[in-house]
Amino acid sequence: MDKKVLVYSTPTCPYCVRAKQFLKDNSVAFEDIDVSINQAAASEMVSKSGQMGVPVLEIDGEIIVGFDKERIKTAVGL
Amino acid sequence: MYDLIIIGAGPAGITAAVYAARKRMSLLVITKDVGGQAAISGDIENYTGYQFITGPELAAKFEEHMRRFDIALKENEEAVELKKIDDKILVRTNKVSYETKTAIIASGKRSRELNVPGEKEFRNKGLTYCATCDAPLFSGKVVAVIGGGNSALDAALQLIKIAKHTYIINIASSLSGDAIMREKINESEIVTVFNNTQVTAIFGDKMVTGIKIKREGKEEDLAVQGVFIEIGLIPNSEFAQGIERNQSQEIKVNCHNETNIPGVFAAGDVTDVPEKQIIIAAGEGSKAALSVFRYLARA
């Protein structure tokens, strides 16, 4: 079954762009949440990850801070 | 053993890789990230051929160009040691070790740290070195930018559009940086500049709640929810054993990009070449690769 993947990002952050591109390249469907225009989502991201850096990925409940390719691969099962 | 290992994939490293690939060298690129500082730059209006392009877009173009060639690229890998033993150059990373005949160090620069209590603890917990990345998270908050040069002013100008109030904490007696930016800062009613002011600590609970500043001999607390550190850059040159550096820790190179170690070349912002510009870094990268080609032909 496909995993639920959320990406908390801002449009200007290069690692966000890279993380999303990586998911696209590997045909992983995800929901992109732009925290620069969605304050509620920004707060949610901070409380879930305990920090304010973007991107934050949530893969079936697992929180990954930053574009950590290896952890993302493992979490989505690539 | 490789012909060439390139350390870093910013404008210098990527351009070197393109040139080396076209010369059919056996090549490995090791890098923490692709794009380097270019990828976190704002608007770029002085890279010939593009009248306007953003940093992330230009970095993506560079990467696309490099990936046209079949280049072995190790991303998320960082060189921790480079040394020459006899005729071989050994590059040890945070993961493994490699051997190569030549190396190009194009590892660029990183943000300088303040070195005050609380800085490490609150990193990404309200404290950041990348305004371009993180500024949108500080919508409606009170923030402080530490520094007084162009990068600090750039960060403050980004924050004006987002934050409730921005303090600029500048250790010097006045802001440096471009006049056009200083004017915009001075015109803004939601920016307060503290000159001759030092940051002595960053504090908070789970997240940053304030900074300690010292001015006119007095220490006081300033309540802020965000801290943007923009006090310049330092070269990523520590890992190279026995390499000659200048006072700023930049690697010394001659006009052929040779360092004092035969077979070890360097290019871009990590070197003592004057003017840190994307177009210069790219040009230096190409020059370094061509020097490597000549060196290998002689060997």
B155 φ, ψ (degrees, to nearest 5): -65, -45
Residue-wise pLDDT for B249-280, tens only, equals 999 999 999 999 999 999 999 999 998 899 99
Contact A36 B206 (CB under 8 A): no
Residue B13, CA distances (Å) to A67, B198, B200, B207 in order: 21, 36, 37, 36
For residue B42, is pLDDT > 80?
A: no
Contact B137 A10 (CB under 8 A): yes
Report the pLDDT value the prediction gives residue B131, as an integer from 0 to 100: 86
- pLDDT average, residue stretch B185-197: 96
Name the residues of B annotated as catalytic.
Answer: 130, 133-134
Distance from CA of A63 to the nearest CA of B (A): 15
Nearest CA in chain A to B133: A13
Expressed as residue numbers, the domain containing A46 is 5-76
- How far apart are alpha carbons B141 and B210 in whole angstroms? 12
Sort strands B127-128 and B226-229 into parallel, antiparallel or unpaired.
parallel
Provide the 8-state DSSP code for B136.
Answer: G
In this prediction, residue A1 has a pLDDT band, given cuts at 50, 70 and 90, of low
Residue-wise pLDDT for A47-68, tens only, equals 999 998 899 999 999 999 998 8
Report the pLDDT value the prediction gives residue B151, as an integer from 0 to 100: 86
Kindly tell me the burial class for residue B195, based on how many C-beta atoms sit within 10 Å of its own C-beta (0-12, 13-18, 19 or more): middle
For residue B132, is pLDDT > 90?
A: no
Report the pLDDT value the prediction gives residue B203, as an integer from 0 to 100: 97
Identify the sign of the CA torsion B172, B178, B182, B183. Answer: positive
Kindly give, in sequence order, each residue whose CB lies less than 8 Å from that of residue A25, ignoring residues fewer than 6 positions away: none
For residue B84, is pLDDT > 90?
A: yes
Closest by CA to B8, choosing from B86, B113, B93, B128, is B93
Is residue B17 a contact partner of residue B29, using CB atoms and an 8 Å limit?
A: yes
| Cis status of the peptide bond prior to B262, with omega within 30 of 0 | no
Of A18, A35, A68, the CB nearest to B137: A35
Tokens of B89: 């150059």
- Note the ipTM here: 0.79
Look at residue A60 and give its three-state secondary structure. Answer: coil
In this prediction, residue B133 has a pLDDT band, given cuts at 50, 70 and 90, of confident
CATH number for the domain whose boundaries are B127-229:
3.50.50.60
- How far apart are alpha carbons B293 and B22 in whole angstroms? 11
Tell me the whole-structure pTM to 2 decimals.
0.79
- pLDDT average, residue stretch B62-84: 95
Q: Considering only CB atoms, which chain A residues are within 8 Å of B133?
A: 10, 12-16, 53-54
Contact B124 A69 (CB under 8 A): no
Nearest CA in chain A to B126: A52
Distance from CA of B243 to the nearest CA of A (A): 31
For residue B47, is pLDDT > 90?
A: yes
Mean pLDDT of all residues belonging to chain B: 94
Look at residue B187 and give its three-state secondary structure. Answer: helix
Q: Considering only CB atoms, which chain B residues are within 8 Å of A37?
A: 136
Contact B124 A65 (CB under 8 A): yes
Residue-wise pLDDT for B204-223, tens only, equals 998 999 999 999 999 999 99
Residue-wise pLDDT for A5-43, tens only, equals 999 999 878 788 889 988 998 999 999 999 988 889 999
Of A12, A50, A68, the CB nearest to B206: A50
Sort strands B191-194 and B142-146 into parallel, antiparallel or unpaired.
unpaired
What residue segments make up the domains of chain B, in order of their start?
2-111+233-298, 127-229
CATH number of the domain bearing residue A22: 3.40.30.10
Provide the number of structural domains found in chain A: 1
Which CATH architecture does the domain made up of B2-111+233-298 adopt? 3-Layer(bba) Sandwich (3.50)
Phi-psi region of B104 (alpha: psi -120 to 50; beta: other; left: phi over 0): beta
- pLDDT average, residue stretch B157-164: 92
Distance from CA of B286 to the nearest CA of A (A): 25
- A63 at interface of B, judged by CB pairs closer than 8 A: no
